[in-house]
Chain A
Amino acid sequence: MLNIDHEKCTRCKVCIRNCPFGALNLVGGSLHVNELCTLCGACVNVCRFDALSIERKKASPEELAHYKGVFVWAEQDEETSPRKPRKVVLELLGKGRELADKLGEELVAVVLAGPGEVDTEVYGAHGADRVIVCRHDLLETYSTDGFTNVMCAVITSKKPAVVLYGATPHGRDFAPRVAARLQLGLTADCTGLEINAERQLVQTRPAFGGNIMASIITPYNRPQTSTVRPNIFPVPEEKKDSSLVKEVFPVTLNRAAIRTKVVEKRYLDEDGGLSIEDARVIVAGGRGCQKAANLELLQDLAKKLGGVMAGSRAIVEQGWIPHTRQVGQSGTTVGPELYIAAGISGAIQHVVGMSSSKTVIAINKDPEAAIFKTADLGVVGDAVEIIPLLSALIEEKN
């Protein structure tokens, strides 16, 4: 129910302009809401006079049954043209397909993008039944307000049972905003997702720095929403033919609704722009590397193995590498084929960021170092001495 406080309302009409569904208008000099309203909350958010509010009650089981479908926010890689999704979206489609099949419902990709060309076939190729495309000039680049408004509009009109977001910086930025506006349950950084016998989404995630796992459900609110870290679920195999339904969703967005402005960009120039998130081989350094100059040894080994260099939080804080190369809970989650940890102790906050690696080699002077519990091959020794010798052996072979 949208409640209008007519005493506070100044009839400024900002809400009317921001409503994605055209549900608000002035009738006989006072504000009126019609049956097109989906309770998306855009108007409440934008009203400066506190004249609007929405009372949300927990849904009854009958109401819950109206929510169907698994939706995946298809975050776009802003450096591609035509626009393609980020790798984590494909991972979520893989998992989403499993969940949708279990529920017997649709898997839908939701794209928010600017006016340029967008590749939609890729969603069908990775298991989606439908792709909903929301376009607007103001969606060309990410903004909290823009994306929150549009996502809420999609959710309130389409009523999905589940919404999944990649736990990327943007995902973690606006998923809670959407959850707060629509009063939904949100579980962050899930490492496991399943449908249980009661058709509820069971969301499993680490807590206490990774020392413990918790399984969580959202019994009374729909959709159930989750963010999932990249490199947790596998990218599904591409399907050859798919019967993908494409839907265009009309977007209403107002420049005034977007309250943050990017005034400067300071991107770091990295080797060929290869991000550690997508790397196949990573050589990572920690405090045990002793000084910044020694990282060159890791860089060299990484190159010889066709990979990239990364590091733990300790060396990022020391300024030896930028945060763009930080592996760990407050950095990037990686899942390479090969992860070599040099001089890293293996604190749980680091391990949480690389435990999806397929093969792990660890070198550390301390035989008790926790990293050895995660390694397939552990070597007690000085990484600064061993790594250059290893590089030489590889060089020799080549």
Chain B
Amino acid sequence: MKIVVCVKQVPEVADVQVDPKTGTLIREGVKSILNPFCEYALDHAVRIKYHFQDVSITVITMGPPQARDVLVRSFELGADEGILITDRKFAGADTWATSLTLAEAIRTGVPDYDLVLVGKQAIDGDTAQVGPEIAEILGLPQITYAVDVTLTSTRRQVRVTQEVEKGYEVIEASLPALVTCSKGEVVRRAPSFKDVINARQKPIRLVSAGDLQIPEEQLGLQGSYTQVVKVFPPPAKKSNLLLQNLEAAEAAREIFGFLREKRFVE
């Protein structure tokens, strides 16, 4: 059985700062990491691999050459082989151009795939669009917000526990299908040092624009439907009052006074 997991290398968003003078992002010193939601997707795939026999996991990423790091990282976490799609022509791609490229890479790279898992969203873009767009391009049924992904006993359907506003729903679909993933219940095991060493031996295929049958005008910035016209820092927060060095009882009284003033209590 073949599972494809799409992964993305993203900057560590918590470390990103905005230059107050130019309003743009300061990327120096910000590490690149495997997008956490992609990690969860991989996690679900690895759990299926260990639960059912005869499952192989291919990870695919689209990015600059250093995106190779997230493939190696994925190997540490349990993936078996990787595909790195890299080419200057992909630069500037929005979610549509990205989805088109990834879908084509899946179609040509792992033609007999059974299940595609992607993270619910990337922590830099936060759009959550690429998963459903890939599903549409490949013509697959989709299930989003998965907190648990498993196969039915016949292995011909995927059974997903989906997080909904009121709780959970369990949804099934026939394979091939695409699932976008959220964090699962079980904290995954950490890779051992042996896993780290072995990860460097696993195979990575390189794919460039010429290897994919997509017309050039549909790639990268050219192929994007949306354009960013401005980037600016978020609005400054309101001015506010900070009380310190108060004993708990006094603090409670201050808050109570504030609530009264604002009419939240009589």
On A, residues with C-beta under 8 Å from B are 44-45, 144-145, 148, 168-169, 172-177, 179-181, 183-189, 202, 205-221, 259-268, 275, 277, 281, 305, 317, 322-324, 329-330, 332, 337-338, 347-348, 359, 361, 363, 367, 372-382, 385-387, 389-390, 392-394, 397-398
Contacts and interface: CB of A to CB of B under 8 A. Distances in A.
Contacts of A214: 228, 230-231
B127 A189 contact: yes
29 contacts: A144-B132, A173-B145, A176-B132, A177-B135, A180-B96, A180-B136, A180-B137, A183-B225, A185-B96, A188-B126, A208-B11, A209-B16, A210-B234, A214-B230, A259-B173, A263-B170, A264-B170, A265-B170, A317-B183, A338-B264, A348-B14, A367-B244, A372-B240, A374-B238, A377-B241, A379-B243, A381-B251, A389-B252, A393-B256
Contacts of A175: 129
Contacts of A305: 259, 264-265
Given A174-B132, A367-B244, A393 B262 contact: no
Given A180-B132, A216-B227, A211 B169 contact: no
A188 B142 contact: no
A184 B256 CA distance: 51
Interface string B249-266: 101111110110010111
Contact of A382 (B95, B244, B248): B248
A109 B159 CA distance: 34
Interface of B: 11, 13-14, 16-18, 23-25, 94-96, 99, 120-121, 123-133, 135-137, 139, 141-145, 159, 163-174, 177, 182-183, 225-234, 237-238, 240-246, 248-249, 251-256, 258-259, 262, 264-266
Contacts of B13: 208-209, 211
B10 to A, nearest CB: 9
A263 B150 CA distance: 14
B225 A218 contact: yes
B234 A172 contact: no
B89 to A, nearest CB: 18
B13 to A, nearest CB: 4
A146 B18 CA distance: 42
Contact of A209 (B126, B172, B231, B262): B126
Given A208-B11, A212-B25, A324 B166 contact: yes
B265 A376 contact: no
B11 to A, nearest CB: 7
Contacts of A186: 95, 127, 129, 226
Nearest to A338: B264
Given A266-B170, A379-B246, A213 B126 contact: no
B124 A208 contact: yes
B14 A209 contact: yes
A26 B103 CA distance: 31
Given A172-B128, A176-B129, A214-B228, 6 more contacts: A173-B142, A176-B95, A188-B127, A206-B126, A212-B232, A215-B230
A7 B257 CA distance: 79
Grouping DSSP codes into helix (H, G, I), strand (E, B) and loop, the A interface class, with mixed when no group exceeds half, is: mixed
B241 A378 contact: yes
Given A183-B96, A260-B143, A208 B16 contact: yes
Contacts of B254: 377, 379
Contact of B228 (A215, A337, A338): A215
Contact of A324 (B25, B165, B265): B165
- Judged by DSSP, the binding face of B is mixed
A340 to B, nearest CB: 8
B133 A176 contact: yes
A329 B128 CA distance: 12
A393 B120 CA distance: 44
Contact of A376 (B14, B23, B135, B241): B241
A387 B255 CA distance: 10
Contacts of A45: 136, 139
Contacts of A376: 238, 240-241
A16 B263 CA distance: 62
A183 B225 CA distance: 8
Given A144-B142, A266-B170, A267-B166, A386 B228 contact: no
A28 B244 CA distance: 85
B124 A207 contact: yes
A392 B94 CA distance: 53
Contacts of A265: 167-170
A168 B144 CA distance: 12
Contact of B229 (A173, A215, A382, A393): A215
Contacts of A173: 132, 142, 144-145
Nearest to B225: A185
Nearest to A374: B237
Contacts of B127: 176, 186-189
Nearest to A79: B166
Contacts of A390: 252, 255-256
Contacts of A145: 141
Nearest to B121: A330
Which of A179, A211, A332, A363 has the most C-beta atoms of chain B within 10 angstroms of its own C-beta? A211
A52 B240 CA distance: 60
Nearest to A46: B139
